[in-house]
Structure 1
Amino acid sequence: MKMKRILLLGGTGDALRIARQLGPEHVYSLAGLGKVPDDLACTVRVGGFGGSEGMARYIVDEGIDLVIDATHPYAAQISANAAQASRAARVPYWALHRPAWQPQAGDDWRMVGDWDELTDALAPFRKPLFTLGREPLAHLYEIPPHQFWVVRCLEAHEDTARARILAARGPFTLEGERALFALQAFDVLVSKNSGGQATEAKLEVARERGLPVVMLRRPELPAAEREFENVADLLDALQVAD
């Protein structure tokens, strides 16, 4: 099996590692959030496809032979569209599913499934650090009177009377996270269970400081013809495919 043209769905550090190994005949697709790399040999495509039907048309029109889904574990809609589009276009669908973080002895993880459960879990706390991406920005004027939020995300945003927005991109070091937690005196961490090493240091610091973690459960993702837990195994499979 020789893959003449790959469509790589990315936006993560893992996806960028894969993209750096692809030649000009392949396509690296980004939603358009965050920094767009300008140093890749492959084609970089920015923007949506118009749902699964639009993606299926793109796959057929562009002669794509393989779709690789290396999007964020919480990009469930994109993954669902990719799986459906691949079936419709009759091309293989591979997925990179990095392992979720696991609580360690003594960790106080409070699992929630959606925003309502999350805000209920935060009710006893005064100063949470949100590391969910941009979603909390839509709720800055719903902050309870006893709380002050710190929201870390990619996009810059004006602070409000009850929230500070930190525009930052990982990876984050253990020393940097320790300094941030000490300066801001958070009493709870809010996180997605993204897995990987780029943002794991915050969990270590929460552990050191004895802070609870309100953890958003991972969404259910579609099955793929081949699933990989790390970039190295996926790249090895591509070498065999070639």
Structure 2
Amino acid sequence: MKRVLLLGGTGDALRIARQLGHEHVYSLAGLGKVPDDLPCAVRVGGFGGSEGMARYIADERIDLVIDATHPYAAQISANAVKAGGVARVPCWALRREAWQPQAGDDWRMVGDWAELTAALASFKRPLFTLGREPLAHLDEIPLQQFWTIRCLDAPETHPRARILATRGPFTLEGERALFSAEAFDVIVSKNSGGSATEAKLEVARECGLPVVMLRRPELPAVDREFANVADLLEALRVSA
């Protein structure tokens, strides 16, 4: 197998990392828990943009970059493609399929924070499932709203916000219990795809709640693109 630099942070990336040997590198930005039980090497921290990543690829004699970051991590995906081009190594990407609205869904698509807040203007108790981004806007909470923000860690407190420090996957039963206890009137989500956080959409559908959905960013073209972990691992095995 070629020496791989795996860009991760997602559950799918961790599944790939568990199949990599000691010569490969799993790179994390540093947010959340850093795994200490992987057979491959683990690198934590940024590269210093695409130029820094290109230098790392060359210095470490990387043969293949795999982008298995979050679908909304557009900057690191762009850096991976640029760095691969400079270092003249291929870049593959795991890009899981987006969720699709189903019968009974009320999705309101938005493109940025300004559109998102406008879409929430008539609601009182939103549940944010965007990660840490809403924490930067706690001082902008409208007087009529109380926010619940679910993210990996929660150092901040606020009189009109509850911050839930938790990590998926989330079960259907757990989401039903949370929604029942908190009486949300709207859900705010990224279209992340995958099963780990999909239960909230099913419960929103059951409860007749609207979902303000942040559109996926456009990501750069790569040498090979995969929709699931199994196909990517098989391609790695074949290319060994």
**Shared fold per TM-score greater than 0.5:** yes
With the shorter chain as reference, the TM-score category is over 0.9
Aligned residue for 1:29, secondary structure, equals strand
Distance (Å, rounded) in 2 between the aligned partners of 1:204 and 1:179: 13
Aligned match of 2:45: 47
The RMSD of aligned alpha carbons is 0.6
Structure 1 position 18, deviation (Å): 0.2
Cα distance per residue 1:103-143 (max 9 Å; x no partner): 00121000000000000000010000000000000001110
Is residue 136 from structure 1 mapped to residue 123 from structure 2 by the alignment?
Answer: no
Structure 1 position 41, deviation (Å): 0.8
Aligned match of 2:237: 239
Distance (Å, rounded) in 2 between the aligned partners of 1:52 and 1:158: 32
Aligned match of 2:11: 13
Q: TM-score, normalised by structure 2?
A: 0.99
Which amino acid counterpart does residue 211 of structure 1 have in structure 2?
L
Is residue 89 from structure 1 mapped to residue 111 from structure 2 by the alignment?
Answer: no
Structure 1 position 159, deviation (Å): 2.6
Cα distance per residue 1:134-170 (max 9 Å; x no partner): 0000001110000000000001233311100000000
- Residue 156 of structure 2 is aligned with which of 152, 155, 158? 158
Distance (Å, rounded) in 2 between the aligned partners of 1:203 and 1:195: 11
Aligned length, in residue pairs: 240
Map 1:30-109 to 2 at 5 A: 30-109=28-107
Distance (Å, rounded) in 2 between the aligned partners of 1:152 and 1:17: 23
Aligned match of 2:175: 177
Aligned match of 1:218: 216
* Structure 1 segments unaligned to the other structure (5+ residues): none
Aligned residue for 1:7, secondary structure, equals strand
- Residue 117 of structure 1 is aligned with which of 115, 118, 122? 115
Distance (Å, rounded) in 2 between the aligned partners of 1:195 and 1:16: 16
Aligned match of 1:228: 226
Aligned residue for 2:30, secondary structure, equals coil
Q: How many percent identity over aligned positions?
A: 81
Aligned residue for 1:36, secondary structure, equals coil
Aligned residue for 1:80, secondary structure, equals helix
Cα distance per residue 1:78-123 (max 9 Å; x no partner): 0000000000000000000000000001210000000000000000
